[in-house]
Chains A and B, each alone.
Chain A
Amino acid sequence: MDTLSYLGQGFGVALSPYNLVTALSGTLIGTVVGLLPGLGPINGVALLIPIAFALGLPPESALILLAAVYLGCEYGGRISSILLNIPGEASTVMTTLDGYPMARQGLAGVALSLSAWSSFIGAFIATCGMVLFAPLLAKWAIAFGPAEYFVLMVFAIVALGGMAGDKPLKTFIAALIGLFLSAVGIDANSGVYRFTGDSVHLADGIQFVVLVLGLFSVSEILLLLEKTHHGHQAIKATGRMLFNLKEAASVFVVNIRCGLLGFIMGVLPGAGATLASAVAYMTEKRIAGTSGHFGKGDARGLAAPETAIGASCCGALVPMLTLGVPGSGTTAVMIGALTLYNITPGPLLFEQQPDIVWGLIASLFIANIMLVILNIPMIRIFTRILAVPNWALVPVIAIITAIGVYAVHATTFDLFLMVGIGIMGYILRKLDFPLSPILLGFILGGLMEQNLRRALSISNGELGILWSSPISMGVWALVAMMLALPLLRIWRKRSQQRRAMADA
């Protein structure tokens, strides 16, 4: 019952005219950012952090803005994948499989609105799940001591490698780079300057915004340079803009199933939208069997990944809000934003600042509804944005990125650092390293070290404290499982190959 009254209170916060306008502009900005090639939810949210701070938004409005941008970006990404067959980011690859064929059959408007609707249902299911489970998890999380937290963070990092699948080793190395980078700067406990090279600018560490924008924006600018010569023609969205009842009804069961699946995948650290959409698509394809025409414009093939993405985005907010442990790149950025406001996400947030938590949850409902409504009149304008050529877009991205970095500390050192990190990010990308683990490692690194040292201070240096409680034992078991997962997958692949060899 408490939960419901808190939720009502949250709607009170989110429905204030000021926050409604914030959410509306957030969804609009997010959609445009998500549309543009080279800008995804991570850049979008990171760019807005310094701006939200400079605008002097109160913390709950800033958080609402960032969440709305997050959802908007995810939505914008699907416009380019449906109309151009270019997935804006990894998670929308599955959307192109059936979305683009639908658009070519003259159902572009239907495909777009149906995807918005699916993602709305997914987000709705996940938000309901969040309302139900988050307070329980938060209550349970209070029992966590420093040792348990440390183990939990180890789990989050390991899960990243275990879930990401095809390149666990590179994922681990990337995460370790992030974990290490978080140690740069003055050590809070002892006052020792670490890895600063006597530079004043590095004394309080590498700025989070600099790292994010360098890794994602600058490296993306360099990547776009390789692809200057492609002329893609967007499919014109004509005819019917809205799906009809029959179409909605035909995918409703798919929506529910994939919504639940996406929520669970979103809550798990490391899994995230990419995996959720892939699993959802594959599952639905198998369930449909021969009755479906997946890959040729089946509405179910569009609804499945979209629902899962919508649900996993909201699901990812659960571990972030309750435990303070982000599960994806974007939620890591949001934690970075919260720390700017001196808010520490974690179990106590629910008790101390219920306005922020429940306002955020309520605004997720509202932002999702806004996206569905906005979608219908705005599709034509959005498709025009897709036609902006790279030569006009890239300098503007570069300039805005520089503004975002300069806004944090107003030093040119940060600009140079950003370019350096960008070059590093570009090389890592060319060598097939995933980048978001670096970000996650960077955010978790500081917390991890603090908790490890605190735990060992309690036990006076005895390492046994790290596996003394039942909770930490349980989490260690999960860690072992996650470590075994990639090995198991490799082993299965090898034995399959061997069988294929034997058959041939």
Chain B
Amino acid sequence: MEGFGFSVLKERHINYDANDKSIAEYIAEREPSFRTCIECGCCSATCTTGAFTNFSLRELQILLKRGENEIAREQISKCMLCGKCILVCPRGVNTRNVILLAREAFRKLMKNEV
């Protein structure tokens, strides 16, 4: 492609082979609605935590599905579980359980149980 004058920005490179998608699989297995997310961002728009920090559930969904877990792990503890995102979600994703499961998965990952 580069020969034709097209290139991909360096920061947009995603190496799926190197990334670990076990967390996303762990969540999707236990909360199937995780897969139905269309990353519309309604959850981020209404987020209580998002009003104070750069926390974004939409971003988390994308990161987890790509397997870029490091940023997700740092961000995930910021959520206060207030549940507004569930009520605005047009796809009926059980977002609170997604957060709880992600936390559980990270905890288990540290013990190599995932």
Do the two chains bind? no
Q: Which residues of B contact A (CB under 8 A)?
A: none
Q: Which residues of A contact B (CB under 8 A)?
A: none
